[in-house]
A and B are shown apart, each in its own frame.
Chain A
Amino acid sequence: MIHSLFLVNSSGDIFLEKHWKSVVSRSVCDYFFEAQERASEPENVPPVIPTPHHYLISVLRHRIYFVAVIQSEVPPLFVIEFLHRVVDTFQDYFGLCTEAAIKDNVVVVYELLEEMLDNGFPLATESNILKELIKPPTILRTVVNTITGSTNVGEQLPTGQLSVVPWRRTGVKYTNNEAYFDVVEEIDAIIDKSGSTITAEIQGVIDACVKLTGMPDLTLSFMNPRLLDDVSFHPCVRFKRWEAERILSFIPPDGNFRLLSYHVSSQNLVAIPVYVKHNITFREGSSQGRFELTLGPKQTMGKAVESVLVSSQLPRGVLNANLNASQGTYTFDPVTKLLTWDVGKINPQKLPSLKGSMSLQAGASKPDENPTIIIQFKIQQMAISGLKVNRLDMYGEKYKPFKGIKYMTKAGKFQTGMQRPHVSCVKA
């Protein structure tokens, strides 16, 4: 099981360590640092590193490496999932998961880690239960604690751990009962220069914020459940019911949680919401190049494409770019050669374009005319897969809750422009 955890910042310092069994010397991290040095980019550090007596399994989140030390055969995914859970918990508690936030709340962090793992076995990883045990720090509570000398440790013991629905605490009470569901889809795509799709897939999630009194039992049904053939559910969802009737039936945790995530693969037809036309040319022997890029909406069912951001890594030979944006602003960093264009909203009547010339290093050979273009965007009120919620019902409680469903599409990894284009959409 998990022996120890080290938190390492991007400059390679261990700023927190926690041991669940005997203490493992921090020198074990030297193997990690070696790998870190070898990696060209921070994210290229391999997730599993063997050392003579231990294995180091790490995840990189928010520019912090969470390095777990294990000694025996443990499923690596088990460790990785747990580490991600730790990160999510920190983020949940402190708003941000940064080195500063962790250092400021080091006591809470220790308390949390102690509760999450017992002798290397996961103990309480549900945010609902943890929050009962250890109250998240707020400014008010910090002030009160300083004056009264009390702590964040809850007075009560987590009653939820005893029940058959361990994800929900008992005795929940709200004056306003509400349940909101966000259907968020990210489209990952690779699109080639001619505009045809190499791959496109949709990663969708339904995130919920449920604040309901008592023990509500919810059911959620879809207009087109057939879209969901590749899904992962929160443990609260009754799988049998889904198999049989394609209805999501569950007793929700209290507060925010991810109800399900799904994947619509490239085998289904995936609509591509934007197109890019670009023309980048360099003449042999000349120190000038032309740059033209136009964006347009496509298959958006009439919804506006917003927060559009185009970025591209121009070839190394480009010294500077003198461009003219029909809307929004662009920047070009002559050092990293990164061109970014903050477009904003696409107006279908007047398509945004970016045109102009680039100056090249004299004498350099003709650069690549197909740099990768990465596009980010958001589309509100639409799930690009076409997924639609049919109805949401509540059983088990008498009151009438307030219900709401929101849809949103974002670009995940949306790339285009290369000979083999690559389109990805960004998450909203």
Chain B
Amino acid sequence: MTDSKYFTTNKKGEIFELKAELNNEKKEKRKEAVKKVIAAMTVGKDVSSLFPDVVNCMQTDNLELKKLVYLYLMNYAKSHPLCTDCEDPNPLIRALAVRTMGCIRVDKITEYLCEPLRKCLKDEDPYVRKTAAVCVAKLHDINAQMVEDQGFLDSLRDLIADSNPMVVANAVAALSEISESHPNSNLLDLNPQNINKLLTALNECTEWGQIFILDCLSNYNPKDEREAQSICERVTPRLSHANSAVVLSAVKVLMKFLELLPKDSDYYITLLKKLSPPLVTLLSGEPEVQYVALRNINLIVQKRPEILKQEIKVFFVKYNDPIYVKLEKLDIMIRLASQANIAQVLAELKEYATEVDVDFVRKAVRAIGRCAIKVEQSAERCVSTLLDLIQTKVNYVVQEAIVVIRDIFRKYPNKYESIIATLCENLDSLDEPDARAAMIWIVGEYAERIDNADELLESFLEGFHDESTQVQLTLLTAIVKLFLKKPSETQELVQQVLSLATQDSDNPDLRDRGYIYWRLLSTDPVTAKEVVLSEKPLISEETDLIEPTLLDELICHIGSLASVYHKPPNAFVEGSHGIHRKHLPIQHGSSGPAAPVDQPQVIPSQGDLLGDLLNLDLGPPVNVPQVCSMQMGAVDLLGGGLDSLVSDPIIIMHPTLCGWKNIIYVLLSNSWSGPGLISVDFLLLLAVLNFCVLQVWLPAAKAKGLEISGTFSRRQGHMYMDMSFTNKALQHMTDFAIQFNKNSFGMIPTTPLAVHTPLMPNQSIDISLPLNTIGPVMKMDPLNNLQVAVKNNIDVFYFSCLIPLSIFFVEDGKMERQVFLATWKDIPNENELQYQIKECHLNADTVSGKLQNNNIYTIAKRNVEGQDMLYQSLKLTNGIWILAELRIQPGNPNYTVKNTLNEKVCPNLWPVLYNIIWMQLWMYYS
């Protein structure tokens, strides 16, 4: 049957009949009806009155029916009322039509709306043009490609030069929204003419439009200070706007352009003065407005403290402020605290410390400590305030106070120990690890002045295994300090804690630290004293400042979500991974590059000074200097053994032991400075530490703060890539993924990279990535080169590393004796290579055993003229056999290697064997 039958009926009341059929219950009937409608349509009959009934039929799973309905829709979309309304004489109707058009989120239909939209963008009435501008953004959301192909983006750009301010504002808004999903194209091409248009529109458009325009202005880089000043002059009136979002956007523009103005000009000083009142006014708004304002003020205060230094009183907390406002105000109060206002600030803080909200009270107590550290003249007052607070005996106040007093001791050593007695009275009430650790540290540090220090510390020892790691580590160190200060009475105590730490603990950090102390104390108490009781660096006054480059970037984002979270936008806003980072403009002209403003030095809040580990245990420290010094030590130690493996051998220790890095560093730098000594004692250390060697594959400097170090291993017949990811940036990292380039052995990861939690700043994570060799093969040079790409939320990074061949040695690499003999003879001489391994004092059996552990099997052994001859075989994952003959003379083991295929595997084998034998050597010592 053909479709021609649909054309046959031509009775009266046809439309009515169709209508009934379209609403029929049976699907088949409905389909027939739609076909009839379309047939009628193709012969030019007007079936538009059936529009609602046909659209109803769209609700079906039947693909054919759906397509038919679309056919109908597409035909009538052209003459759809919306399109005709776009021609209406009344501009308000035209605008309404174009506004509604963008809300139809159906791809196919939107195509038919392009023509009417194009007309509306050029409409004579500004109200229509302004509405059409937003419609372009809507369409872009539905079908970006179409919007570009149709040239709507150019039309939008033309609208920036429109005569009507509202049209300009909406065009800017639409362009900014589109450019968010379009990070690379420079949609808003800002030039002085455009800027002038924008500034004119700024005065006359709605408050919302002003926000869009100001945000857009802030992306512009004026060519000189005169241009910057003239823009500032025209933006300044916006500071008096009733809408707080307008005010904050204006502040952003001004803060950014201030960079370009000469610091000594009158205008610069006036502008700074003008910035303060609007910021203060924001704080009289609703609490939600206050919160956002305070987060931004926090940035502004760090960048330009002079703006608000007179206004500290407005940051005093009010009784009925919501807690989130209180906490922010407190933070800013401390940033603004100075000698001039410290008395007032302290009085306030003391008041806050008696409030009811626990979080707030804690932060207030901490703030008192920060004041003491920041304003030296006030330290004494702060300490006495803290003592008063301890007298209240409110548990969490006391604990918080003790933690900050510890920091005060570190800043002003030997100044306030008179209060230790008071602190000790509260020993029993401490139940939080932070406070306990702080108290223990104080007792250990001042053990010589506390008569009953041993009793105090002993009391903590009873429940040693129930304590948190932090407390355990501090306690261990404190008791060692005590022992070094009062050796006669405390020998038993120190032995007790060392055995608790080394024998009964599962925590490698604790155990290993115990071992180190133990060895240190038993071998050289004098050195031990020098190391453990060495002078500690003072802690710095400014903590938790934002790092200057990040701060500058955040200043460019004032008023945005980034400024609320104090993170660059690409760190958390979805879909903006490729967004260009914004920078503060740099001053041009004769004054040269902008002189760096005196930024207070930033000290990461987690202590990374070597003293910390021995004394404070603030957390797992990650530190660069140690790595460097380790490198020297390690190279010495390994005698170039690993040089041949990597061109740039930076070696660090396994990250679970990262605490150890510090200790070793201390040991190296403090006592054993002679390289000759290092190798011996260092080996001992390594033995104790169960030391693994990781190579830095990807230094943090090359990967925006991500450091990857790693090694390969073979365990239970499987290959693994053991890596340690360290985040040395200030933002967290997520979305890790890894990929290998084609390589000689077809090695690929068996599972995707499993990093599920975000990697926080200063954190490390250890990953063992299972590998297999079923991937595509491509010969690399050198053969064991592997190119790796690692992606995270920030970028994609590439590095290459050398795979130790030993991980490809399979377990079934033992050749039958007969086969071995036959093959050995068949190998041509040119495939034979010889190496000498020097200074290896092992006998044949040991060597054979150790090599077997690495899947190099001894097939036969002979003794020829007092020399042991070992015949060995090994097989690579790709089926290549390698046969070897090892001749061992005391002091001169000679290794001859032959392989079965004419491949140049051999040059790589030499370092492998060398490496294995060296590895065995270390283990021998352990």
Residues of A with Cβ closer than 8 Å to B? 1, 21-22, 39-41, 43-44, 46-48, 50, 53, 55, 57-61, 71-78, 80-82, 84, 118-119, 121-122, 125, 157-159, 161-162, 164, 166, 188, 190, 198-199, 201, 203, 229-235, 239-240, 243, 258, 260-261, 263, 265-267, 368, 372, 374, 413, 415, 418-420, 422, 424
Contacts and interface: CB of A to CB of B under 8 A. Distances in A.
A198 B561 contact: no
Contacts of B92: 157-159, 161-162
A422 B319 contact: yes
B815 to A, nearest CB: 56
Contacts of B310: 267
B340 to A, nearest CB: 14
A73 B560 contact: yes
Name the residue among B92, B204, B319, B357 with the largest chain A CB count within 10 angstroms.
Answer: B319
Nearest to A47: B288
Contacts of B248: 75, 77
9 contacts: A1-B177, A40-B323, A41-B323, A77-B244, A81-B243, A162-B126, A199-B314, A232-B242, A233-B241
Contacts of A230: 277-278, 280-281
A75 B125 contact: no
B281 A232 contact: yes
Interface string B539-575: 0000000000000000000011110110001001111
A233 B319 contact: no
Interface residues of B, number: 81
Given A44-B323, A198-B316, A201-B314, A261 B211 contact: no
B29 interface: no
Contact of B93 (A74, A157, A159, A199): A157
Contacts of B357: 40
A22 B105 contact: yes
Name the residue among B92, B245, B287 with the largest chain A CB count within 10 angstroms.
Answer: B245
Contacts of B351: 418-420
A65 B710 CA distance: 50
Contact of B318 (A55, A118, A125, A188): A188
Contacts of B206: 122, 125, 166, 235
Contacts of A53: 574
B576 A72 contact: yes
B292 interface: yes
Name the residue among B127, B284, B316, B357 with the largest chain A CB count within 10 angstroms.
Answer: B284
Contacts of B286: 59, 61, 80, 84
B574 A72 contact: yes
A166 B126 CA distance: 13
Contact of A263 (B204, B277, B344, B572): B277
B137 A81 contact: no
A50 B758 CA distance: 15
Given A122-B206, A230-B277, A420 B347 contact: yes
B204 A75 contact: no
Given A75-B249, A81-B243, A122-B206, A239 B237 contact: yes
Given A122-B206, A419-B351, A50 B572 contact: yes
B611 interface: no
B316 A199 contact: yes
Nearest to B570: A73
Interface string B312-341: 011010111011100000000000000000
Name the residue among A22, A199, A266 with the largest chain B CB count within 10 angstroms.
Answer: A199
Given A121-B173, A122-B208, A263 B281 contact: yes
A424 B137 CA distance: 47
Interface stretch (B96-104, B468-476, B823-831): B96-104
A365 to B, nearest CB: 10
B245 A119 contact: no
A413 B319 contact: yes
A77 B207 contact: no
B141 interface: yes
Interface in B224-256: 237, 240-245, 247-249
A53 B576 CA distance: 12
B138 interface: yes
A119 B102 contact: yes
Interface string B495-529: 00000000000000000000000000000000000
A424 B96 CA distance: 49
Contacts of A71: 574
B323 A157 contact: no
B215 A75 contact: yes
B364 to A, nearest CB: 12
Nearest to A58: B288
Given A76-B292, A78-B211, A422-B318, 20 more contacts: A44-B322, A48-B292, A53-B574, A73-B576, A75-B211, A77-B289, A121-B134, A125-B206, A159-B92, A162-B91, A164-B204, A166-B206, A230-B278, A230-B281, A232-B241, A235-B242, A260-B242, A263-B280, A265-B280, A424-B318
Contacts of A231: 240
A220 to B, nearest CB: 16
A43 B322 contact: yes
Given A43-B287, A80-B286, A232 B314 contact: no
Contact of A41 (B242, B292, B322, B354): B322
Contacts of B697: none
A118 B134 contact: yes
B601 interface: no
B386 to A, nearest CB: 17
Given A75-B249, A121-B170, A232-B241, A162 B125 contact: yes
Given A59-B288, A121-B208, A261-B242, A72 B180 contact: yes
A420 B348 contact: yes
Given A47-B292, A420-B348, A234 B134 contact: no
A199 B237 CA distance: 28
